[in-house]
Amino acid sequence: MRVVIVGSAHDAAAYGCDLFLGQLHDKPTSVFGLATGSTPLALYQALIDAHRNQGISFAQVTTFNLDEYVGLAGDHSQSYRHFMQRNLFDCIDVAPENTHVPNGMAENAELACAEYEAQIMNAGGIDLQLLGVGRNGHIGFNEPSSSLVSRTRVKTLTEGTIADNARFFADGEYQPSLSLTMGIGTIMDARRVLLIATGDSKADAMRAAIEGPVSAACPASILQMHADAIVVMDEAAAAKLRNAEFYRFVETQRIKLAAKSSAA
């Protein structure tokens, strides 16, 4: 696990954008795993800006989103499909048929999950998976106690996650308590994983994920076992790390080594 501490949420988004654009440059047909929520919004805006101002094309890209609420149609204002259309897909040149979000309205949810897994495999697997993290350490909608080898499935949300997301729903509006989510095993199959965490509300989760034991109690901790996981945090999210200065030193040395290799 590579730990990168940056000055601000804006810097974290810029770092993530550079990773996505680098992946796209190396492989225009890249398969991206995407996330929703407030954390990736600045990154998505940076990708939109790159498309509009630099001519970066996403025409050959395929995307798979982490999750979707059960019971919300794709055109519902609080569905994750709607979120992605509004905040990314409608603003770049990605082919609509190449964007995938779990079907929250599927008649047979278990079958829909199995089909989603098959779609990812048929696309060749995910090259770069973007993650946020919940205050309880969840990734996707894999709440604490989720199997660390789980696949795409139906999950019940914790009361804390429901409360955190309640701000997106109007008073009296139906708020789902179930989701379809990529499993932790599915996420771990991605060739590279990028987790972005910003704000002091994520500090406890990040300490557990980075410096605690690998445990289903903190699903994000499984990234310690990934061969190419990058965790990018602003200062607020990194505030409770015991070894923050060492992580900064390691990253400085990595940058120096990369520069030396490029010069050679």
Catalytic residues: 67, 136, 138, 143
Between helices 41-54 and 9-26, what is the axis angle to 10°? 50
Q: Are 73 and 105 in contact (CB under 8 A)?
A: yes
- Strands laid side by side in the 178-181 sheet: 67-69, 178-181, 153-156
